[in-house]
Structure 1
Amino acid sequence: MPRFLHTADWQMGRSYSRFEAEDAAALVEARFQAIEKLAGLANEYECDAVLVAGDVFDAQTVSDRTIRRVFNATRGFSGPWVMLSGNHDAALVESVWTRARRLEAVPGNVHLALEPGVIELEQAGLAVLCAPLTQRHTYSDLTEPFNSLETPEGLVRVGLAHGGVQGLLSEDIDATNPIAPERSEVARLDYLALGDWHGTKRIDERTWYSGTPEPERFRNNEAGQALVVDIAGSGEKPEVTPIRTGRYQWHQWRETLAVESDLAQLLERLQALPESSVIDLRLEGSVTLAGEEKLLRALSVAEARFRSTQCDRSELHLEPTEDDIAELKADGYVGEVVEALRNQQQDDDSDVAREALAILAGLLRDKEQEADQ
């Protein structure tokens, strides 16, 4: 009974320019570690092969070092790997794949599916029907030839392709590259392993997207997994088991704060996240000075605890209460400045006034604490 690991969209060489250098480096390294984990899973689950459904590399221009590291990371599994070219690493006349071959970086057990056809893995019991992309965008269904491709009797027919199943995915997938939703049935496939959708997704019982093994976007689409696929034999239905592979969890929250309990609930949710989180917050609404102090303290803790914490507070207004103002003990001219900043922020929606008010409040608190010591 053939068993294989289905993965895709490694996007090796991807950069993370929006992050701090230390965080970006860690996110890049996690992608190499994901390949090593895939090799370990293939051994652990006694897989007969690993099928990679496109976009191994993020671009044709990745460094030679990245190319070598990718193939080095596969060495933990000595069985066959089949790597398909996708839209990011299309099999052009001169491509990342031709460089990999010139570098002699491709191990003997790695099969590069750069031309349409069948790769027969007899020991694995698989016939892999391949539809590689030879250019970034196509407007015809490259899996259509699967209908007429013949495979040896007794081998399980597995399609390997990269693109969007027509009518079943959102419009923001990476490229056009259409795939007919009925392809597995019409082409008599036992399984169709797809890439391009970066999350795990079942199209039908024989057609799946594995998703990327390491998340790299703020989308709630079950990214960070690989699929272990068991097929009892030709014509039998596959048994598909998602396996968690991702190291980091990406969370993007858009929150509106209006009352004190809103902030309390936000900080409670933040506290509950694991340390392997990548967090993007955008806050709007209003917060008191006391609430602002709690928020800034929590964000400071989060920045040290999580892999990355980014927070946009430009739409979050400071609305000091009378108790806030009284606690600051801002008498005379200072009190007038506090009130002026408070009014300017409300009237002009001023980020400068907001920040100035927060800084002044902090200075007044520090002064008060020093006086009490």
Structure 2
Amino acid sequence: MLKLLHCGDFHLDSPFSSLDVKRSEERRRGLCRVFARVMELASECECDAVLIAGDLFDCSYICPDTVAAMKDAFAGYGKPVIVAPGNHDPYTDGSIWASRRAVFPENLHVFRSEELSSFDFPELALTVWGYAFTSDRLDRSPLSGAGSLSRPGRTGVLCAHADIVSPLSKYAPVTPRELADSRLSYAALGHVHNPPEPAVYGATVAAYCGFPEGRGFDEQGYGSVSVVTIDEGRVTDIRRIRVGEHRYLTARADITGAVNDAGAAAAAARSAADIADPASTSLRLAVCGDVAVEYTPDTARIAASLGDCGFYSLEVEDDTLPLLGDTSLADDMTVRGELYRTLLPKMREGSAEERRIAADALRIGLRALDGRSILDDGGSN
């Protein structure tokens, strides 16, 4: 029986450029802590090897303390660590992988070429196949024409940064047919940060590792890695284990009926109070519902009023709609009423984006018609 830890897409030394200098550094160091925790987890779970399916680093510039921490983590684990460089950390002459200054421990094995190759571990009866990105793109599948990669007396797995979702991808478009033809036990994939469920292609189970630590609102919740058990050449278990220490989260607060920011803030505070672990949460809160036509939520003011809720960071978005039952505007024979009646179908029946744009247009138009500034609109971002 083999037990493998499958991870990737750490994007160490991400700049977090939307944060201030202090918090950017906090998050950068946080990513390093998560990586160190993953390597400790591999030891705790008695994994036979670690598969890192690309994008361990975010770019070619890597801080010296990150390199030192990575080397210590690899050496501390002691067992085989296999890396398939991805489009963010390709194997090039100037990369960390080829640097003479970075003397890696002997248990680290890094693929160096776009051509499919393998590392063999006789003591584990394990063969790990893979390849490296050597630039920020790889517009062909390294598995094309490879056929069966199964070997007698060996458990075969693939460790790869690949896109099996889009056949026209510029990021190693490996196909389900190629995975099935490989006859490998497991394909440990990286690149898709919010992955689908594991899939079976022929005898091959293929899965993406997902993100270990979220870096933005497109990566929500606490990150995780996979511990994969393979017995007699068959995947018998894939266990997801949380490793993330910070999360991004979106939530909605219904402020229907609000006529001012005080009422909106009170409703938003009630919604925010239901969210656990605020100190480790970056929250994007959308205020929604039907509000008075004349009222535009001031998102900055509402966010400031929630400062005592203890979130690591908080932003508020306006997703409200004008109260469509406003008969005073529906019956208004002036330009104000005509504007309302013109936009009403879009606000009622349009897509979410069309409703938002129509609502903003109505609010801004009414401001202009009333002689008020349209620049103090606190509405949608």
- TM-score class, shorter-chain normalisation, is 0.7 to 0.9
If the length of structure 2 is used for normalisation, what is the TM-score?
0.73
Residues 1:190 and 2:185 are matched in the alignment: yes
Name the SS of the counterpart of 1:301 in structure 2.
Answer: helix
Q: 1:14 matched to which residue of 2?
A: 14
For 2:104 and 2:69, how far apart are their aligned partners in 1?
A: 11
Aligned 8 A contact 1:34 1:246 in 2 = yes
Cα shift at 1:74: 3.1
Name the SS of the counterpart of 2:218 in structure 1.
Answer: coil
Structural mapping, 1:284-295, within 5 Å: 295=302
Name the SS of the counterpart of 1:179 in structure 2.
Answer: coil
Aligned 8 A contact 2:129 2:156 in 1 = yes
Q: 1:268 matched to which residue of 2?
A: 270
Summarize the Cα distance change of 1:345–1:254 in structure 2 as closer, same or farther, 3 Å threshold: farther
| Unaligned runs of at least 5 residues, structure 2 | 323-365
Aligned 8 A contact 2:96 2:102 in 1 = no
Residues 1:309 and 2:333 are matched in the alignment: no
Residues 1:277 and 2:300 are matched in the alignment: no
Cα shift at 1:22: 2.6
Aligned letter for 1:80? P
Q: 1:352 matched to which residue of 2?
A: 376
Aligned 8 A contact 1:190 1:238 in 2 = no
Aligned letter for 2:121? L
Name the SS of the counterpart of 1:237 in structure 2.
Answer: strand
Aligned CA-pair RMSD? 3.5
For 1:25 and 1:230, how far apart are their aligned partners in 2?
A: 36
Aligned letter for 1:180? T
Q: 1:179 matched to which residue of 2?
A: 174
Q: 1:210 matched to which residue of 2?
A: 209
Cα shift at 1:160: 1.1
Q: How many residue pairs end up in the alignment?
A: 321
Summarize the Cα distance change of 1:210–1:156 in structure 2 as closer, same or farther, 3 Å threshold: same
Cα shift at 1:343: 6.6
Q: 1:141 matched to which residue of 2?
A: 141
Summarize the Cα distance change of 1:348–1:155 in structure 2 as closer, same or farther, 3 Å threshold: farther
For 1:46 and 1:243, how far apart are their aligned partners in 2?
A: 14
Cα shift at 1:125: 3.1
Q: 2:112 matched to which residue of 1?
A: 114
Summarize the Cα distance change of 1:281–1:229 in structure 2 as closer, same or farther, 3 Å threshold: same
Aligned 8 A contact 2:36 2:70 in 1 = no
For 2:166 and 2:66, how far apart are their aligned partners in 1?
A: 35
Q: 1:358 matched to which residue of 2?
A: none
Aligned letter for 1:299? L
Aligned letter for 1:215? G
Aligned 8 A contact 2:149 2:183 in 1 = no
Aligned 8 A contact 2:58 2:88 in 1 = yes
Structural mapping, 1:164-175, within 5 Å: 164-167=163-166, 175=170
Name the SS of the counterpart of 2:140 in structure 1.
Answer: coil
If the length of structure 1 is used for normalisation, what is the TM-score?
0.74
Aligned 8 A contact 2:222 2:243 in 1 = no
More helix by share: 1
Q: 2:307 matched to which residue of 1?
A: 300
Identity of aligned residues (%): 22
Cα shift at 1:316: 10
* Deviation beyond 6 Å, 4+ runs, structure 1: 287-294, 313-317, 342-346
Cα shift at 1:256: 7.0
Aligned 8 A contact 1:200 1:222 in 2 = no
Aligned 8 A contact 2:161 2:190 in 1 = yes
For 1:258 and 1:345, how far apart are their aligned partners in 2?
A: 25
Aligned 8 A contact 2:74 2:107 in 1 = no
Structural mapping, 1:1-373, within 5 Å: 1-99=1-99, 102-115=100-113, 116-144=116-144, 146-149=146-149, 151=151, 153-167=152-166, 175-205=170-200, 206-219=205-218, 224-234=223-233, 236-253=234-251, 257-260=255-258, 266-273=268-275, 274=277, 275-281=279-285, 283=287, 295=302, 298-302=305-309, 305-311=310-316, 348=372, 350-352=374-376
